[in-house]
Amino acid sequence: MKHLSDFTAEDLAALARADVARALAEDVGTGDLTAALVDNGRTARARILAREPAVICGGPWVEAAVLACDAQARLHWHVAEGQRCGADQVVLEIEGRAQSLLTAERTALNFLQLLSAVATKTGAFVEAVAGTRAAIVDTRKTLPGLRLAQKYAVKTGGGVNHRIGLYDAVLIKENHIAAAGGVAAVLQKVQTDAPEAMFVEIEVETLPQLEEALRCGATMILLDNMDLPTLREAVRLNAGRAILEISGGVSFQTVRGLAETGVDRISIGALTKDVKAIDFSMRFDAL
Which residues are the active-site residues?
106, 141, 173, 203, 224
> Which pairing describes strands 43-50 and 280-286: parallel, antiparallel, or unpaired?
antiparallel
CB 229 within 8 A of CB 198: no
Residue 84 backbone phi and psi in degrees, to 5: -90, 145
Nearest to 112 by CA among 5, 19, 9: 19
For residue 133, what are the contacts with CB-CB under 8 A and spacing of at least 6?
Answer: 259, 262, 263, 264
> Element (H or E) spanning 111, and its range?
helix 98-128
Q: What whole-number distance in Å separates Cα of residue 186 and Cα of residue 188? A: 5
DSSP character at residue 4: G
> Which pairing describes strands 170-172 and 200-204: parallel, antiparallel, or unpaired?
parallel
CB 236 within 8 A of CB 244: no
Burial environment of residue 232 by CB neighbours within 10 A (0 to 12, 13 to 18, 19 or more)? middle
Q: What whole-number distance in Å separates Cα of residue 262 and Cα of residue 240? A: 10
